[in-house]
Structure 1
């Protein structure tokens, strides 16, 4: 990024990095900006692109050390989408600081919708494509539908994709998002690509077959992951968790763990899990992709990256596990009598009702879980005949009494043979232990 100014700025960058940052850095910077605003426009014009580039360097450093200044910068047109998307991910901020993002800036317009591929960040098996959508009218929501990357020759690259929706779209106001791309073949994405997608609202496609062609510099993203063998076992109330290795990549850190086959409890997740260096600096799980399930007992935990920070020591810490005895994870419901036949023994889970299209449960939670609406069940379930069904939607709400109301729907329950069996995917029962394991 900013290749034209790089030579001019290199000396300034080195001097800037050597300057000690005072604790009241916000006041100094914001005061200077306010003074500059009071000067004549001709004075500002003389600096042109160089001043803008210096300002961008200051902005990136301030994201790391000063959320207040990042808030100020995010209100400035042209910089807002960069700050808003990466400001909460220290690893992505560091990647941009170290020129590990390539600007694309290619657009296509169709039926009043403009789609822009803004930039891309890549590593061996996960890529992040930054995009912006602008609509010529208001929409309650818009989101990508069936996004695909294909090669220059038209080959579908068989990649995995994850993304979020955008709500309350206003006319001519850009919304920016990240398409996360999983490369299961590890490094197989060619340099010349075409991005194809539909844009959908809550009900139907607003525009179909948008496509943007672009190329990226594969050498730019040739950073080699750093692998640290751990080979340690954590024990929490007789439940064993083997930590195999840690891989540090420019976009994220992956810690590979395996649950012991002899464990009596089904482990659903970790509370307060994070990575901490020897100075107490913290790297938290990545947004939206806390872990990947590799097989029945193996998972990959994903954290924000410290690839460019390179701490001398790194520790994995957490305070408890969410788990249940394995014989209690299946819940059986008699739909004809509207009652639970089998459920966890703690009595926190109650069946409320079933209707033509859905089933509803109540789950008692304490203060620790009140604001965490984790999925209660896997989406698939079986009926009395062993036939498998899949819910295609779910919703949740909370009461003042500390009860989560969970509804799962999208299946014609009149066609289902009672009783049905669901499998719990997360549950507020804990095995507590403060764990601190050195990974590096």
Structure 2
């Protein structure tokens, strides 16, 4: 029992929780940098409690709680050897990024495998830019073992140092392949610190969790540690294509004020890169330390971008956010590789405006 307990995938618990409850980051960031306020602390603790309830599940199978469907449907174009990952993208809130990368051939096909004792992992592809690395992989089992998930994915450089930034906020999702409980399709994203040298030679380190034949369909599977079986660590070494580091982030400074519930918020700047669009907001000095209002504003920051590519207009919903010392950060999927002619941030109608309004981020 103790041996099994040591193998509980702690990082996977946090990945699952973080993907669902990103607001906890705002509370932690603001609390560390600005001190404590009773109202804010209570609110932050409520979010923290919710996050811990999710993270505290003994096991979590992403196919049991998939993210909301992406804001645009997946293209019908041929994805080649990555065709199986269309099913994963259909359930991925960040599908727009993956679709755009594959459509623009911004992918490194790896197709390297590692296997032992009936478990096999294949690293299918890598997609990266200076802000993050995305892995697409397939886990399989034999001998009747039913895959529960790929419960742990580490990424280190050749020297054995973690590629993930010091906060460790990697994110991931996955589900079973079409009509197979013996094959798992997964995606894991690692944020990069732009102040550090980009990794070149890296090692992806996986662990597969499974259950005995017939167990996967039982309702209580995943609640009892003794039911679980684990592969040994399965390692795949590879070199990241240098083409990814040639795609630099474009920073657009806007300093465009707008209102949320009668409070002025400033759209400070937007960072555009192949795998993400990051929108940064700043607040006035008096609002920076008003934790109650900051909490309310954080939950009401604009959550939709629209971009025009040719004659098509694509909607792109926020996929997460966090607090910063001066305000907030919202993260969106990216179709920057499609060279959109315009990108606009939508301001919903409400107490501050009679009808929907837009702030132009990019206009060509």
TM-score range, shorter chain: 0.5 to 0.7
- Relative to the length of structure 2, the TM-score reads 0.61
Residues 239 and 304 from structure 1, CA distance in 2 versus in 1: closer, same or farther, beyond 3 angstroms? same
The Cα of 1:141 is off from its aligned counterpart by 2.1
Residue 150 of structure 1: aligned partner: 156
| Other structure's SS at 1:163 match | strand
**Could you say which structure has the greater relative contact order, defined with CA pairs below 8 angstroms and 6 or more residues apart?**
2
- Relative to the length of structure 1, the TM-score reads 0.52
The Cα of 1:97 is off from its aligned counterpart by 2.4
Matched, 1:182 2:206: no
Residues 320 and 213 from structure 1, CA distance in 2 versus in 1: closer, same or farther, beyond 3 angstroms? farther
The structure with the greater share of residues assigned to strand is: 1
Matched, 1:113 2:119: yes
What is the aligned counterpart of 1:214 among 238, 252, 257? Answer: 238
Residue 87 of structure 2: aligned partner: 84
What value does the CA root-mean-square deviation take over the aligned residues?
3.5
Residues 169 and 189 from structure 1, CA distance in 2 versus in 1: closer, same or farther, beyond 3 angstroms? farther
**Contact persistence 2:139–2:208 (CA under 8 A):** no
The Cα of 1:295 is off from its aligned counterpart by 2.5
Residue 249 of structure 2: aligned partner: 225
**Contact persistence 1:254–1:300 (CA under 8 A):** yes
Residue 312 of structure 1: aligned partner: 341
Residue 134 of structure 1: aligned partner: 140
The Cα of 1:240 is off from its aligned counterpart by 1.9
Residues 230 and 66 from structure 1, CA distance in 2 versus in 1: closer, same or farther, beyond 3 angstroms? closer
Aligned equivalents of 1:140 and 1:219: distance in 2?
Answer: 35
Cα deviation, 1:6-44, whole Å, max 9, x if unaligned, reads xxxxxxxxxxxxxxxxxxxxxxxxxxxxxxxxxxxxxxx
Residue 194 of structure 1: aligned partner: 203
| Other structure's SS at 2:231 match | strand
Matched, 1:276 2:306: yes
Residue 359 of structure 2: aligned partner: 437
The Cα of 1:220 is off from its aligned counterpart by 4.2
Q: Structure 1: which 5+ runs fail to align?
A: 1-64, 322-429
Map 1:158-169 onto structure 2 (within 5 A): 158-159=164-165, 160=168, 161-164=170-173, 166=175
The Cα of 1:431 is off from its aligned counterpart by 7.8
Aligned equivalents of 1:186 and 1:130: distance in 2?
Answer: 25
**Contact persistence 1:90–1:283 (CA under 8 A):** no
Aligned equivalents of 2:147 and 2:330: distance in 1?
Answer: 34
**Contact persistence 1:270–1:320 (CA under 8 A):** no
Q: Structure 2: which 5+ runs fail to align?
A: 1-71, 211-221
Aligned equivalents of 1:178 and 1:225: distance in 2?
Answer: 23
Residues 294 and 271 from structure 1, CA distance in 2 versus in 1: closer, same or farther, beyond 3 angstroms? closer
Residue 327 of structure 1: aligned partner: none
**Contact persistence 1:100–1:221 (CA under 8 A):** no
| Other structure's SS at 2:268 match | strand
Question: Higher Cα Rg: structure 1 or 2?
Answer: 1
Cα deviation, 1:131-185, whole Å, max 9, x if unaligned, reads 111122343721322x222222323334332112546997674221111101134
What is the aligned counterpart of 1:285 among 317, 342, 360? Answer: 317
Aligned equivalents of 1:267 and 1:128: distance in 2?
Answer: 31
